[in-house]
Amino acid sequence: MENLERDLEEMRDYFKSGKTKEKTWRISQLKGLRQFLNHKEEEIYSVLNQDLGKHHVEAFRDEIGTLAKSLNFALEHLDNWMLPKKAKLPAIALLSSAEVVPQPLGVVLIISSWNFPFGLSLEPLIGAVAAGNCVVVKTSECAPASSAFLAKGIGSYVDGRGVRVVEGGAAVGERLLQQPWDKIFFTGSARIGRIVMTAAVKHLTPVTLELGGKCPAIVDSLSSSWDIQAAAKRLVIGKFGACAGQACVAIDYILVEHKFISTLVEMIKKLIKEMFGKSPNQAKSMARIVNKQNFLRLKNLLDEPGVRASIIYGGSMDEDKLFVEPAILLNPPNDAEIMRDEIFGPFLPIIGLDKIEDSIDFVNLRPKPLAIYAFTKDKAFQRRLVSETSSGSLTFNDAVVQYAADTLPFGGVGESGIGRYHGKFSFDTFSHDKAILKRSFLLDFWFRYPPWNNHKLQLLRQAYNLNYFQFVLTVLGLKKS
């Protein structure tokens, strides 16, 4: 979009034409996106491997598979999503009807992230076109092969007058943020999220911010060997198995009682070797770090005083290959950066506690996370975690799987984000629920109007407190007030 302002004006005119509001247009865009994934699956695998070293099975699990599922879900439920919803009215609105009509917001901007360059671009796009909007998607320059492929390839499958993909770095992002949008949807760091929100203030643009956060895993002292092994597998894959820990929903650190640490650590070590090999830098099942800048950032985390001494497993690094071996750290300093900021890499701090209930205070003393993962069969403890912690989501006895659920809202709270999406929640995020009320001229209540007196006050009080049938009887004098 070299002529950005002109192109955006054309998109606004296209939205005003009403074409994108038609159900047939929305369905055609969703089907086009599904065809894009089907036709280009092998090429998508290739560019994801080029950018991030992702194995094609991981790429299917985390991007193509989840997107195909989301598209099928949207196509199956779009008719119902678009329907006006009847609304109940108070008794005083006699002979009236009301409904809530979802309407598209207009021309919206989606700014995606590099760690899931297809998933984080197309997942919100599904909701935006399903809702009938014109959409500009700004991809991340940190995944250049994926970004270029998406920008060049998607145009044959969607309506270019209503959906466009823009490449570029920070300068392009800044230029886009200067424009008036009807919605901005951003996925990325809290630091950039603040920039996006500041820019949105100028035009009072509503924003959805999908940010990160240090997602803790709280691991209770499980008794059965089966439970321990299942929990350890899910911990390992929830930390290292999604883009080498470069995921906002990845486990950031583990909280566990001191007495259970050695059992858990030995199991995690064993599973790392089983899943990624004894020489992980040779394994193809482990993604690599996205670029040198992030590689050096991770290296600096370990070089901070007291941190390297806490490593009890792994942590070797190959700068040429941008590879970082999974590492386990035991009780690194709480004031170290690795415990203050989101790690976004394959380092797993394990923090020992006297009793597992102390995990609640530990989590609550920090910014609200995007997700909390709690491995426990203790129902009372589960209830305490639900009521006494705040996070975007709370998953018991597994990790990351909540991201794939179209029927659950995905989003953060506090510093981990604003707003939500996935499934119907994506449709709602890119819609305005317009309230429609229709009133008959046949009947009116005289006590709605001045001059006022206490009798009118009494009738108004009843109008707001009685149900519809009781109120009518009272007004007709068939029921004592």
- Please list the active-site residues: 210, 248
Q: Check if the beta carbon of residue 289 is closer than 8 Å to that of residue 253.
A: no
422 DSSP 8-state letter: S
State residue 115 phi and psi, 5-degree precision.
-75, -30
Q: Which residues pair with 65 in a beta bridge?
A: none
- Find all residues with CB under 8 Å of 25, minimum gap 6, and list them: 19, 132, 159, 162
Which residues does residue 219 pair with via DSSP β-bridges, in sequence order?
Answer: 256, 375
Residue 384 in 3-state DSSP? Answer: helix
Task: Compute the distance between CA of residue 475 and CA of residue 471 in angstroms, rounded to an integer.
Answer: 6
CA distance 211 to 161: 30
Selection from 160, 200, 168, 169 nearest residue 184 by Cα: 200
- Calpha distance 353→332 (Å, rounded): 13
Sign of CA dihedral 338, 341, 347, 348: positive
Q: Distance of CA 354 to CAs 217, 257, 361, Å?
A: 16, 6, 12
The closest of 346, 376, 309, 406 to 66, measured between CA atoms, is 406
For residue 145, give both structure tokens. Answer: 């092969």
DSSP H helix total and E strand total for the chain:
18, 18
Residue by residue, DSSP assigns 340-362 as HS---SSEEEEEEESSTTHHHHH
Distances (CA, A) of 434 to 23, 91, 183: 18, 22, 16
Please give the single-letter amino acid code of residue 64.
Answer: I
Residue 269's Cβ-side half-sphere holds a number of Cα atoms within 13 Å equal to 14
Per-residue burial over 21-52, b = 16 or more CB atoms within 10 Å of its CB, e = otherwise: eeeebbbebbebbbebbeebeeebbbbbbebb
CA distance to 286, 303, 459, 465, 471, per residue, from 480 (Å)? 76, 80, 12, 14, 10
